[in-house]
């Protein structure tokens, strides 16, 4: 009775899940949704926008500065004056005011090429922002594709466990019929029920695993309903044509985003070094402006005074000594440049090592797929023979269970190898800059 109730509950759960309207996704739909809505990617794109906004000639120092300011002030004093004949005079509430206004224009004519270098550095930082966005896009696509095929794998494992339950249920039916006919013992029936309960329990747990993979994919796509159910248009893990190592290596050295970011960071360090050296040059600035002053006097022969006019000037300067700070800055910039070069070489070596390691596993998984398919074919045929022998009573229950387990393990093993092959394929395409080929 417990076995039948458990089986019935699983059927109800399955029917309920299928009765809900479900969205149909293919891998392209998932990628498109994720690229439009993923929060981490949107944050990275905002950072890129800031880098783009900073790349202006004004931020580099090419453009002049223009300032306008005005001020009104006043004084209210009591004045006491001692005269030469020992007499004194007192003046109360002496109120004087001053109103000023100025318009100032300044321009750097020469600053050791720092303006030009700063503009190029800002351009490199803009490029770096774009590369960081590209890296985020490629990583997101890789995560979505991996999660998509993981969901397919978990659904196939669910189907495998459903098949296991159906085999165990058929075995229980055979044993119950034998028991009623007196050709089997009660022990055999009980053991068959134990097997059915165990398989049903695994099936129930797999439902939760499938649901968890759905939630993960929904999270990557940033859909509003993270608990939303969907089904995939693909029902198998598709393995593309075998990748060639030489082609992957060639594309990796050119298209790998991590290497491009390391190269951009190296270029930024080169500009920092040039900026540090630019302080060794003299600087020349020009300025001009218009000034207006208006003064009022409450106790003077002049009631007010107004002055206005233009001013201009050139400033030439050169730092002679700053406590060796300039030399220290140049040395540190040179060391940082060397560090960036070493990091690039380290990154290049690491990328090559990852490519070699993953490709080796990829080729091995491709070979294993063929072996696992042969194993599955053999296990399927073996089960068919075993079931016939079990019905005739020439095979024990333990032996039948072992044959059933061999078939289920063969199915799971093939699914596992196919998924690992797909993960290797995704990783190789990510390293070589080809990951966006999944998005068509």
Report the pLDDT value the prediction gives residue 236, as an integer from 0 to 100: 92
Report the pLDDT value the prediction gives residue 9, as an integer from 0 to 100: 52
Range among 3-12, 258-267, 288-297, 399-408 with highest mean pLDDT value: 258-267
- Check pLDDT > 50 for residue 4: no
Mean per-residue pLDDT of the chain: 90
- Check pLDDT > 50 for residue 230: yes
Q: How far apart are CA 396 and CA 414, in angstroms?
A: 27
Per-residue pLDDT tens digits for 13-72: 544 444 455 789 999 999 999 999 999 999 999 999 999 999 999 999 999 999 999 999
Helices assigned H by DSSP within 182-242: 186-221
The torsion angle over the Cα atoms of residues 262, 46, 63 and 319, rounded to 10 degrees, is -50
Q: How far apart are CA 111 and CA 283, in angstroms?
A: 4
**Mean pLDDT computed over 153-165:** 95
| Share above pLDDT 70 across residues of the chain, in percent, rounded to a whole number | 95
C-alpha distances (whole Å) from 349 to each of 253, 293, 338, 353, 355 are: 10, 68, 17, 6, 10
Q: How far apart are CA 215 and CA 209, in angstroms?
A: 10
pLDDT bucket at 12, cuts 50 / 70 / 90 = very low
Report the pLDDT value the prediction gives residue 63, as an integer from 0 to 100: 94
**Mean pLDDT computed over 6-13:** 48
Q: How far apart are CA 346 and CA 337, in angstroms?
A: 14
**Mean pLDDT computed over 340-358:** 97
* CA 86, chain centre distance (Å): 87
Kindly report the pTM of this predicted structure.
0.86
Report the pLDDT value the prediction gives residue 426, as an integer from 0 to 100: 97
- Check pLDDT > 80 for residue 183: no
Helix axis angle, 257-278 relative to 245-255, nearest 10°?
30
208 by Cβ neighbours in 10 Å (0-12 / 13-18 / 19+) ranks as exposed
Report the pLDDT value the prediction gives residue 303, as an integer from 0 to 100: 81
Would you list the domain boundaries of the chain?
A: 2-37+112-282+318-438
Report the pLDDT value the prediction gives residue 5, as an integer from 0 to 100: 45
- Check pLDDT > 90 for residue 156: yes
Q: How far apart are CA 33 and CA 138, in angstroms?
A: 14
CATH code for the domain defined by 2-37+112-282+318-438: 1.20.1600.10
């Amino acid at each position: 009775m417990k076995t039948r109730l458990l089986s019935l509950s699983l059927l109800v759960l399955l029917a309920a899940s299928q009765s809900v309207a479900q969205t149909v996704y293919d891998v392209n739909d998932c990628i498109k949704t994720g690229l439009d809505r993923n929060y981490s990617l949107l944050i990275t794109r905002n950072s890129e926008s800031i880098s783009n906004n900073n790349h202006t000639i004004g931020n580099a120092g090419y453009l002049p500065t223009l300032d306008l300011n005005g001020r009104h002030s006043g004084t209210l004093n009591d004045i006491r004056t001692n005269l030469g004949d020992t007499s004194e005079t007192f003046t109360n509430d002496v109120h004087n005011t001053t109103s000023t206004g100025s318009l100032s224009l300044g321009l750097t004519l020469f600053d050791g090429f720092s303006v030009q270098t700063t503009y190029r550095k800002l351009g490199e930082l803009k490029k770096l922002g774009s590369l960081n966005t590209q890296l985020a896009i490629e990583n997101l696509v890789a995560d979505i594709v991996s999660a998509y095929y993981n969901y397919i794998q978990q659904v196939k494992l669910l189907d495998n466990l459903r098949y296991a339950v159906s085999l165990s249920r058929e075995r229980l039916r055979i044993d119950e019929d034998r028991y009623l006919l007196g050709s089997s013992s009660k022990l055999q029936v009980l053991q068959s029920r134990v097997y059915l309960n165990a398989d049903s329990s695994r099936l129930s747990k797999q439902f939760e695993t499938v649901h968890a993979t759905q939630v993960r994919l929904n999270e990557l796509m940033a859909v509003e309903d993270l608990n939303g159910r969907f089904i995939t248009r693909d029902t198998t893990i598709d393995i593309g044509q075998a990748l060639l190592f030489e082609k992957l290596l060639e594309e990796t050295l050119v298209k790998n985003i991590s290497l491009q970011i390391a190269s951009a960071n190296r270029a930024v360090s080169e500009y920092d070094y040039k900026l540090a050296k630019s302080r060794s040059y003299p600087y020349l600035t020009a300025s001009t402006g218009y000034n207006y002053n208006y003064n009022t006097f409450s106790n003077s022969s002049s009631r007010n005074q107004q002055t206005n006019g233009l001013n201009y000037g050139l400033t030439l300067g050169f730092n002679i000594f700053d406590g060796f700070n300039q030399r220290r800055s140049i040395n540190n910039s040179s060391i940082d440049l060397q560090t960036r070069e070493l990091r690039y070489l380290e990154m290049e070596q690491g990328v090559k090592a990852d490519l070699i390691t993953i490709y080796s596993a990829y080729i091995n998984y491709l070979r294993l797929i063929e072996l696992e398919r042969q194993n599955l074919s053999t296990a399927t045929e073996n089960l068919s023979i075993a079931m016939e022998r079990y019905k005739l009573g020439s095979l024990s229950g333990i032996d039948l269970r072992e044959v059933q387990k061999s078939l289920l393990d063969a199915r799971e093993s093939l699914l596992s190898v196919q998924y690992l092959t797909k993960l290797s394929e995704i990783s190789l395409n990510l390293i070589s800059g080809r990951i966006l080929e999944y998005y068509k």
